[in-house]
């Protein structure tokens, strides 16, 4: 199953956002994989600073449990100075609906 959503960076944070993801914590990558997430990409619209994320979910998956995991909360705390977030540090996500797919 595919899942896509949009997030937004704060001005002046693109380079740091990329750097932090280039150095993603191995334990976080494992947590995401163990939750059933794979083939995960994030794209940037440099004009609007919108991030477009697309990932695949294995069934069954535990993506819905990630917001309660201490490591996920730690990552969000680490990233919240770069992007627009909820008060708890979780990135604000806007879901994207699939309107076309070509295989």
Residues with a catalytic annotation lie at 21
Give the tokens for residue 8: 């937004």
Count Cα atoms within 13 angstroms, Cβ side, for 19.
6
Whether the CB-CB separation of 42 and 24 falls below 8 Å is answered with no
């Amino acid at each position: 199953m595919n899942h896509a959503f949009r997030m937004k960076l704060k001005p002046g944070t693109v380079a740091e956002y990329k750097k932090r993801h280039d150095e993603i914590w191995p334990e976080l990558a494992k947590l995401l994989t163990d939750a059933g997430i794979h083939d995960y990409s994030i794209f940037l619209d440099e004009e609007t600073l919108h991030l477009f994320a697309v990932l695949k979910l294995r069934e069954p998956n535990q993506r819905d449990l990630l917001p309660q995991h201490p490591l996920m909360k730690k990552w969000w705390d680490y990233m919240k100075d770069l992007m627009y977030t909820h008060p708890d540090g979780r990135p604000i996500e806007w879901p994207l609906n699939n309107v076309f797919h070509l295989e």
